[in-house]
């Protein structure tokens, strides 16, 4: 138990360090942009007529305080971390006066749901098919499944998304191609809304699953192909142990350890793919919100989405890391 406590403290320290560095980079990049949100707000307010210079000066001062842009860069940095500690990113420029926090919390469940479902499906299917293909090497059905999975793997997310959009939206229009649910439908925990939610998520999830499946398949098949040549597997087969038990207990369990590590490493890349996929399908998640914020020059919203994304991905990676020792007990004794 003491070994796991040391492992936990080490992973928590890494988590804090990664979040701190990532958010600092986001702060530096957003503050280095030539776009001035204050002047944009003033320009949008005064474009339809002349305004008293004193009123503009007061407006500029109020907006700088509102956006946390008063004083030197160091003063802005301290104000940013004070707000970050309570989850306050100020108001949105493009949806003024709606707080950034409100916009993010509206979009976050969509992205989390999309990522969670697509990641779990691709990871489980890829590892299952890859494990079976590595153990039953003479199966033509598994060989064909591997060809299909590997064919999609090098294709970018957005290409697969566009192909699915054209195929199921225009050539064979059986699935919705935009939005998170049917227009004008009131969100509620009802069968009609849940069915609409499911139909609208099929294409975004499918585009992420098809691309992610091949990597897990190839990795698992390679690991299993090496493990089946080990002496303890050969001994179990000669001893008459049921092949399904050998596959599940002797082969797959050992091969899953590096796959769990790979899952943690791939979460950041999956989030990038989700942003593009959401934009293609008009899915109301953080990706769509981020692209809209960039186009509108919404300084606060971009910084808020980036910070929340860094924390969310880091939390997911931390969760996978904390589960790792339960799959591989050697981790607790080597840390």
| Cα gap 204→197, rounded to integer Å | 12
**Rounded mean pLDDT of 110-127?**
87
With a cut of 70, say whether residue 201 has pLDDT above it: yes
Cα torsion 182, 188, 194, 200 to 10°: value is 30
| Cα gap 70→80, rounded to integer Å | 11
With a cut of 80, say whether residue 122 has pLDDT above it: yes
Which pLDDT belongs to residue 195? 86
Owner of token pair 């038990």: 245
Which pLDDT belongs to residue 170? 85
Beta bridge partners of 99: 91
**Of 112, 113, 63, 72, residue with least CA distance to 91:** 63
Answer whether 301's CB lies under 8 Å from 256's CB. Answer: no
What is the value of pTM for the model shown?
Answer: 0.77
Helices within 33-153 (DSSP H only): 37-46, 53-67, 73-85, 100-135, 140-152
With a cut of 50, say whether residue 52 has pLDDT above it: yes
3-state secondary structure of 91: strand
**Rounded mean pLDDT of 69-82?**
80
Answer whether 124's CB lies under 8 Å from 328's CB. Answer: no
**Rounded mean pLDDT of 280-304?**
82
Most confident of 53-67, 214-228, 233-247, 258-272: 214-228
The structure tokens listed for 202 are 């099929």
**Low-confidence winner among 48-57, 70-79, 212-221 (lowest mean pLDDT):** 48-57
Answer whether 59's CB lies under 8 Å from 37's CB. Answer: no
**Of 250, 244, 248, residue with least CA distance to 228:** 250
**Domains of the chain in sequence order:** 2-85 (no CATH), 100-328 (1.10.3720.10)
With a cut of 80, say whether residue 268 has pLDDT above it: no
Confidence of residue 299 (pLDDT cuts 50, 70, 90): confident
* DSSP label of 172: S
Beta bridge partners of 91: 99
With a cut of 70, say whether residue 334 has pLDDT above it: no
Cβ contacts of 2 within 8 Å, gap of 6 or more? none
The structure tokens listed for 280 are 């293609």
Average pLDDT, the chain: 79
Which pLDDT belongs to residue 240? 79
**Of 225, 223, 200, residue with least CA distance to 113:** 200
**Low-confidence winner among 40-49, 119-128, 134-143, 220-229 (lowest mean pLDDT):** 40-49
Residue of 332 and 262 predicted with greater confidence: 262
**Low-confidence winner among 52-56, 198-202, 218-222 (lowest mean pLDDT):** 52-56
Which pLDDT belongs to residue 87? 77
């Amino acid at each position: 138990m003491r070994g796991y406590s040391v492992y936990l403290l080490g992973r928590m320290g890494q988590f804090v360090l990664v979040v701190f560095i990532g958010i600092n980079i986001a702060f530096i990049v957003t503050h280095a942009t030539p776009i001035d949100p204050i002047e944009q707000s003033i320009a949008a307010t005064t474009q339809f007529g002349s305004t008293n210079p004193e009123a503009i000066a007061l407006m500029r001062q109020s907006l700088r305080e509102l956006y946390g842009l008063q004083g030197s860069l160091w003063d802005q940095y301290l104000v940013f971390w004070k707000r970050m500690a309570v989850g306050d990113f100020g108001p949105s420029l493009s949806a003024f006066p709606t707080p950034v926090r409100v916009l993010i919390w509206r979009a976050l469940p969509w992205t989390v749901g999309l990522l969670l479902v697509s990641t779990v499906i691709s990871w489980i299917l890829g590892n299952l098919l890859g494990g079976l293909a590595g153990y039953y090497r003479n199966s033509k059905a598994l060989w064909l499944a591997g060809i299909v999975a590997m064919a999609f793997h090098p294709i970018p997310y957005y290409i697969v998304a566009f192909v699915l959009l054209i195929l199921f939206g225009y050539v064979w229009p059986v699935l919705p191609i935009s939005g998170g649910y049917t227009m004008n439908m009131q969100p509620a925990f009802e069968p009609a809304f849940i069915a609409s939610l499911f139909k609208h998520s099929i294409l975004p999830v499918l585009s992420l699953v098809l691309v992610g499946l091949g990597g897990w398949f190839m990795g698992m098949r390679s690991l299993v192909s090496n493990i089946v040549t080990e002496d303890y597997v050969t001994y179990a087969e000669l001893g008459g142990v049921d092949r399904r038990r050998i596959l599940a207990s002797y082969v797959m369990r050992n091969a899953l350890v590096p796959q769990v590590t790979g899952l943690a490493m791939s979460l950041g890349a999956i989030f990038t793919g989700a942003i593009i996929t959401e934009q293609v399908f008009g899915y109301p998640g953080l990706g769509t919100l981020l692209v809209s914020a960039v186009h509108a020059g919404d300084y606060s919203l971009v910084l808020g989405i980036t910070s929340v994304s860094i924390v969310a991905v880091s939390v997911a990676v931390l969760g996978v890391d904390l589960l790792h020792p339960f799959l591989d007990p050697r981790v607790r004794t080597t840390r």
